[in-house]
Amino acid sequence: MCRNVLEGTSMADDPPTIDSVARSVLEKVAPRQISFLDSTASEIFAGGATSRRAMLAALGDGRTGRPTGFGAESMGLVVGFLLSVLNGVACEILTDQVTERSGALVRRWRARRERRALASRPAPRGLDTKLPPLGAVQAAQVGQRVLGLAREAGIPEEQAHRISTLIAAELTTA
Q: What is the pLDDT along the chain (174 residues), one digit of tens a residue?
A: 454 444 444 344 678 999 999 999 999 999 999 999 999 999 888 888 888 888 888 888 655 444 433 443 444 579 999 999 898 888 876 655 444 445 555 555 566 666 777 777 777 778 999 998 888 999 999 999 899 889 888 899 999 999 999 999 999 874
Q: Is residue 143 part of a domain?
A: yes
CA 48 to chain centroid, in Å, comes to 18
**Rounded distance between C-alpha atoms, residue 28 and residue 43, angstroms:** 23
Phi, psi of 118 (to 5 degrees): -60, -35
Asked if residue 9 is part of any domain, the answer here is no
Radius of gyration of the chain (CA): 15
43 found inside a domain: yes
35 domain residue, yes or no: yes
Q: Based on the structure, what is the number of domains in the chain?
A: 1
Structural domain of residue 119, as residue ranges?
A: 18-171
65 domain residue, yes or no: yes
Q: Which pLDDT belongs to residue 2?
A: 52
Residue 5 falls inside a structural domain: no
